[in-house]
Protein backbone atom coordinates (compact mmCIF):
# COMPACT_ATOMS: atom_id res chain seq x y z
CA UNK A 1 0.00 0.00 0.00
CA UNK A 2 1.52 3.33 -0.97
CA UNK A 3 1.65 6.30 -3.30
CA UNK A 4 2.69 5.82 -6.91
CA UNK A 5 2.87 8.10 -9.96
CA UNK A 6 0.37 7.31 -12.73
CA UNK A 7 0.50 8.08 -16.43
CA UNK A 8 -1.78 11.15 -16.07
CA UNK A 9 0.55 12.76 -13.58
CA UNK A 10 -1.83 12.33 -10.62
CA UNK A 11 -0.81 10.53 -7.51
CA UNK A 12 -2.76 7.34 -6.94
CA UNK A 13 -3.19 5.13 -3.94
CA UNK A 14 -2.65 1.44 -4.22
CA UNK A 15 -5.04 -0.45 -2.02
CA UNK A 16 -4.53 -3.86 -0.43
CA UNK A 17 -5.95 -5.51 -3.51
CA UNK A 18 -3.54 -3.70 -5.81
CA UNK A 19 -6.33 -1.67 -7.46
CA UNK A 20 -5.30 1.91 -8.16
CA UNK A 21 -7.58 4.44 -6.43
CA UNK A 22 -7.48 8.19 -7.26
CA UNK A 23 -6.07 10.34 -4.47
CA UNK A 24 -8.83 12.40 -2.76
CA UNK A 25 -7.04 15.66 -3.65
CA UNK A 26 -6.81 14.69 -7.32
CA UNK A 27 -10.59 14.67 -8.03
CA UNK A 28 -12.08 17.53 -9.99
CA UNK A 29 -15.45 19.34 -9.90
CA UNK A 30 -18.12 19.86 -7.27
CA UNK A 31 -20.50 17.45 -5.68
CA UNK A 32 -24.22 18.00 -5.98
CA UNK A 33 -24.46 18.82 -2.27
CA UNK A 34 -21.78 21.53 -2.57
CA UNK A 35 -23.59 23.04 -5.55
CA UNK A 36 -26.96 23.09 -3.74
CA UNK A 37 -25.41 24.73 -0.66
CA UNK A 38 -23.80 27.49 -2.75
CA UNK A 39 -27.00 28.15 -4.73
CA UNK A 40 -28.98 28.29 -1.47
CA UNK A 41 -26.50 30.76 0.01
CA UNK A 42 -26.73 33.01 -3.07
CA UNK A 43 -30.55 32.84 -2.94
CA UNK A 44 -30.59 33.95 0.71
CA UNK A 45 -28.24 36.85 -0.09
CA UNK A 46 -30.49 37.99 -2.96
CA UNK A 47 -33.62 37.85 -0.81
CA UNK A 48 -31.93 39.98 1.84
CA UNK A 49 -30.29 42.44 -0.59
CA UNK A 50 -33.13 42.99 -3.10
CA UNK A 51 -35.26 45.36 -0.93
CA UNK A 52 -32.20 47.43 -0.03
CA UNK A 53 -31.20 47.69 -3.68
CA UNK A 54 -34.71 48.77 -4.69
CA UNK A 55 -34.76 51.51 -2.04
CA UNK A 56 -31.24 52.61 -2.99
CA UNK A 57 -32.26 52.86 -6.67
CA UNK A 58 -35.38 54.94 -5.84
CA UNK A 59 -33.27 57.34 -3.74
CA UNK A 60 -30.63 57.58 -6.48
CA UNK A 61 -33.34 58.50 -9.04
CA UNK A 62 -34.73 61.13 -6.66
CA UNK A 63 -31.30 62.64 -6.06
CA UNK A 64 -30.57 62.76 -9.82
CA UNK A 65 -33.93 64.41 -10.59
CA UNK A 66 -33.41 66.97 -7.79
CA UNK A 67 -29.98 67.86 -9.09
CA UNK A 68 -31.31 68.21 -12.62
CA UNK A 69 -34.06 70.63 -11.52
CA UNK A 70 -31.48 72.51 -9.42
CA UNK A 71 -29.12 72.76 -12.40
CA UNK A 72 -32.01 74.07 -14.52
CA UNK A 73 -32.31 77.03 -12.14
CA UNK A 74 -28.54 77.51 -12.24
CA UNK A 75 -28.66 77.44 -16.05
CA UNK A 76 -31.30 80.20 -16.04
CA UNK A 77 -29.12 82.33 -13.72
CA UNK A 78 -26.16 81.97 -16.09
CA UNK A 79 -28.00 82.34 -19.38
CA UNK A 80 -30.09 85.41 -18.53
CA UNK A 81 -27.12 87.81 -18.16
CA UNK A 82 -25.20 86.11 -20.97
CA UNK A 83 -28.10 86.58 -23.39
CA UNK A 84 -29.07 89.95 -21.84
CA UNK A 85 -32.71 88.92 -21.59
CA UNK A 86 -35.19 87.23 -19.27
CA UNK A 87 -34.98 83.46 -18.91
CA UNK A 88 -38.00 81.61 -17.56
CA UNK A 89 -38.19 78.32 -15.70
CA UNK A 90 -41.59 76.72 -16.09
CA UNK A 91 -42.37 74.11 -13.42
CA UNK A 92 -45.55 72.11 -13.77
CA UNK A 93 -47.15 68.88 -12.71
CA UNK A 94 -48.82 66.78 -15.32
CA UNK A 95 -51.14 63.85 -14.96
CA UNK A 96 -50.34 61.18 -12.35
CA UNK A 97 -48.02 63.56 -10.46
CA UNK A 98 -45.39 63.55 -13.20
CA UNK A 99 -43.61 66.88 -13.15
CA UNK A 100 -41.91 68.83 -15.87
CA UNK A 101 -39.31 71.59 -15.84
CA UNK A 102 -38.59 73.73 -18.91
CA UNK A 103 -35.98 76.49 -19.16
CA UNK A 104 -36.46 78.88 -22.06
CA UNK A 105 -35.75 82.41 -23.23
CA UNK A 106 -38.96 84.42 -22.82
CA UNK A 107 -38.68 86.67 -25.90
CA UNK A 108 -39.68 89.41 -25.85
CA UNK A 109 -39.71 89.89 -22.08
CA UNK A 110 -42.82 92.02 -22.42
CA UNK A 111 -44.88 88.97 -23.44
CA UNK A 112 -44.19 87.28 -20.11
CA UNK A 113 -46.71 84.53 -20.62
CA UNK A 114 -44.54 81.92 -18.86
CA UNK A 115 -44.97 79.30 -21.56
CA UNK A 116 -42.50 78.62 -24.37
CA UNK A 117 -43.76 79.90 -27.70
CA UNK A 118 -42.55 78.59 -31.05
CA UNK A 119 -40.14 81.54 -31.50
CA UNK A 120 -38.57 81.19 -28.03
CA UNK A 121 -35.54 78.89 -27.72
CA UNK A 122 -35.84 76.10 -25.16
CA UNK A 123 -32.56 75.74 -23.25
CA UNK A 124 -33.47 72.61 -21.27
CA UNK A 125 -36.51 70.41 -20.85
CA UNK A 126 -36.79 67.58 -18.37
CA UNK A 127 -39.51 65.28 -17.16
CA UNK A 128 -39.36 64.02 -13.60
CA UNK A 129 -39.08 60.20 -13.60
CA UNK A 130 -42.01 58.03 -12.62
CA UNK A 131 -42.28 57.44 -8.88
CA UNK A 132 -41.14 60.97 -8.04
CA UNK A 133 -43.63 63.75 -7.41
CA UNK A 134 -42.85 67.40 -7.86
CA UNK A 135 -44.64 70.08 -5.86
CA UNK A 136 -43.99 73.79 -5.58
CA UNK A 137 -45.12 76.73 -3.48
CA UNK A 138 -45.95 78.51 -6.70
CA UNK A 139 -46.55 76.16 -9.59
CA UNK A 140 -46.10 78.01 -12.78
CA UNK A 141 -43.02 79.92 -13.76
CA UNK A 142 -40.00 81.64 -12.27
CA UNK A 143 -38.19 84.39 -14.13
CA UNK A 144 -34.54 85.39 -13.95
CA UNK A 145 -33.79 88.84 -15.36
CA UNK A 146 -30.76 89.94 -17.37
CA UNK A 147 -28.87 90.73 -14.13
CA UNK A 148 -29.30 87.21 -12.70
CA UNK A 149 -31.93 88.17 -10.11
CA UNK A 150 -35.37 86.67 -9.85
CA UNK A 151 -38.09 88.77 -11.38
CA UNK A 152 -41.30 88.37 -9.46
CA UNK A 153 -40.29 86.78 -6.20
CA UNK A 154 -39.01 83.57 -4.77
CA UNK A 155 -40.28 80.05 -4.46
CA UNK A 156 -39.62 76.53 -3.33
CA UNK A 157 -39.91 73.19 -5.09
CA UNK A 158 -40.04 69.81 -3.38
CA UNK A 159 -39.30 66.49 -5.05
CA UNK A 160 -40.23 63.33 -3.16
CA UNK A 161 -40.47 59.60 -3.70
CA UNK A 162 -42.77 59.03 -0.73
CA UNK A 163 -40.03 58.35 1.82
CA UNK A 164 -37.31 60.87 1.03
CA UNK A 165 -37.53 64.42 -0.31
CA UNK A 166 -35.29 67.22 -1.56
CA UNK A 167 -36.09 70.95 -1.49
CA UNK A 168 -34.97 73.52 -4.00
CA UNK A 169 -35.39 77.14 -2.92
CA UNK A 170 -34.99 80.28 -4.98
CA UNK A 171 -34.68 83.56 -3.09
CA UNK A 172 -35.35 87.06 -4.50
CA UNK A 173 -31.61 87.65 -5.04
CA UNK A 174 -31.55 84.72 -7.45
CA UNK A 175 -29.67 82.34 -5.15
CA UNK A 176 -30.72 78.73 -5.61
CA UNK A 177 -30.28 76.19 -2.83
CA UNK A 178 -30.67 72.41 -2.84
CA UNK A 179 -31.30 70.86 0.56
CA UNK A 180 -31.97 67.29 1.51
CA UNK A 181 -32.45 64.50 1.81
CA UNK A 182 -35.25 64.70 4.34
CA UNK A 183 -36.77 61.46 5.52
> What is the pTM assigned to this prediction?
0.70
pLDDT at 66: 92
3-state secondary structure 123-141: EEEEECCCCCEEEECCCEE
DSSP 8-state code for residue 85: S
Give the model confidence (pLDDT) of 1-54 as tens digits.
Answer: 445 555 555 555 555 555 555 555 556 778 889 999 999 999 998 888 788 888
CA distances from 125 to 92, 110, 140 (A): 12, 23, 15
CATH T-level fold of 36-182? minor pseudopilin epsh fold (3.55.40)
Three-class SS state of 114? coil
Give the model confidence (pLDDT) of 118-176 as tens digits.
Answer: 888 899 999 888 888 888 776 578 888 888 888 776 788 889 888 899 999 888 887 88
Domain ranges of the chain: 2-30, 36-182
d(CA 169, CA 182): 14
93 versus 178: the higher-pLDDT residue is 178
Amino acid sequence: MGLSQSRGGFAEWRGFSGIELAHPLARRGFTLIELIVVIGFIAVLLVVAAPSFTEWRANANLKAASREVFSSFQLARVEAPRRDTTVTICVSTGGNGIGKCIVFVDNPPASGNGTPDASEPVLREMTVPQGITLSATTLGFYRVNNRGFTAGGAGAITLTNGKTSYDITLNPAGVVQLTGPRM
